[in-house]
Chain A
Amino acid sequence: MDGTLRALAVAVIALAIGSLWTPDWIVFLATIIIAKGLVVLGLMVLWRTGLVSFGQALYYGIGAYAVGMAQLAFGLRDAFLLVAFGTVLAAAIAVLLGFLLARYRDIFFAMLSLAFSMILYGTLVKSATLCSTDCFAVLPPRFAGMAAGGTLAKNGLFWLTLAAATIAVYGVHRYLASPLGALTTAIRDNEIRVEYLGYSVERAIHIKYVIAAALAGAGGAIVALAVGHIDPDSTYWTTSGEFVFVTILSGAGSALAPFVGSAIFEALRAYATAYAPYSWQMILGVFLLLLILFLPQGVWSLFQRRVRRAAP
């Protein structure tokens, strides 16, 4: 077991047990942080290939709306199944859109992904059946057939989120170490060489795109369950921008980095909105500027030296 997986195990066990004695609002905030960290983890996989999606809110929103619609249409209440449905639906749509997007790079990839997210946003705002911009309420989920009450109401979703994050981090970590995962940086470096080694760059990017979408779908579904309502804003470009912001903040050094970045971002936003309700975006902007100037590899680069020394 290497350093990343050891750190993952320790963190997950500590959080799972620690949450029993933690106030509600912190558990809620931690759920949001980890769920958004999942979205950022997906963006990190793309970013390592040199691709930035300015439309990841498309899949985040699909995950959220999948939860709401599954509750309405099939009466599905189980939290695990709802999150799984959001993940699978986002991945399925990414399989289709990926055939187009995998051909594009750089700004074209970024703008095309943005365009798709804005199409969904426009549709949702105009859609009366999905209650437009009025809130679309999400019913409290059940866990393995049990109605939520007591500890389960408080911690059930958090534990589910932790489980999802554990699977995601483990999976992405293994993926990045695999021959296919090694193609992330290789494609960024030199696509011609990858093709002449005999692998399809388009296919490799398509797979990454679907992984990123599935993670965003899972994150969106969890946030919908945690917050209890769904809004077209979840698919708006500012939401996508926020995810890109956190990706840069996190750095691409490890599959754990997105969660550290997400925690810093949510904490920063919480304090910035509390102390400067009218200029908190400015604080975020200054923070990003300082980050790019002094930590261009993201906050994870602070850990990296120590991690490398610890690794055999």
Chain B
Amino acid sequence: MVCFASGVCFLFTPYVFGFEVVAFILLLTLSIIAMFFDILPVLLAALLSALIWDFFFLTPQFNFQVGTTEDKIMLSMYFIIVLVNAGLTYKIRKIEKEAREKEEKEQTLKLYNTLLNSLSHELRTPVSIIIAATDNLMTGSPQLSADDKVSLIHEISKASLRLNFEVENLLNMSRLESGFLKPKKDWCDIAELIYGVLRRSKEQLKAHVLIVHIEENLPLFKIDNGLMEQVLVNLINNAALYTVDGSLIEITAGSINNELVITIEDNGNGFPDDEASKVFDKFYRLKNSKAGGTGLGLSIVKGFVEAHAGKVKLKKSIFGGAKFIIEIPAESSSTIYAS
């Protein structure tokens, strides 16, 4: 950049302006450089520009010798101004960076507090249930009927499964946060994946009407089976948790423009328009949502889909509820091997 500016100046010097103007143009160039580069390259550019100015513009030209005392003073002044300029810009940038880091830290702290609030509720509820129920069982109070005991045991079981689900989500979140999450891609039979998830979530889905539509002859796709399983588990459980019994959940899978497209929609109440853009944010929970859930589920969905370079969108379902669309660009087996 210095060479370029000097070159341009050199062409015009004899006709338009003298060497003093060149010094100003070089100074301007250096100021711009200082705004974008680190201190070292700027100092190097400063030195280079001083030498160029001396060599090409100061009389005697094409020589590092400096003629008059005036020119000597000018050259050293030029050099000092450039250095001060570089130093100041560097300092300003450093302060800016510190301010940015501080702001980020505050943001993280705020997020952390939200996390603590929602987590302490979500984790403490099942833990309280387990402690209270086991206390009841251990005191062996004679008023406790056999039926009571069975229902206490059921509550313990339900609470521990809920706890397990939350812990699983937390662990997944920390996998995402660590930044080391790399999908382990392998060939996946999408029908096997979807029906496997439905089998695992059978308990949560028993009061819902399921429709599954998988495109005929859908090829295999190369994806991370475990991550996609978690994506579907979270979306399907969400649909089951936030719609009333008897609601419809439709799951489709197909291939559009070499992308794997999976949709999950329901005929529940859907998401309010003004909140739809925030649902994938970490710890975001709808204003009037019922208890259960830390607000991690959908952000894990987003994180895992994006780890596949894919996209997840929330639309309104034609059934009136929510429709999640997952699009994943993935290698597919266009040929079906039969022998």
A and B physically associate: no
Query: CB within 8 Å of A: which residues of B?
Result: none
Give chain A's interface residues, CB within 8 Å of chain B. none
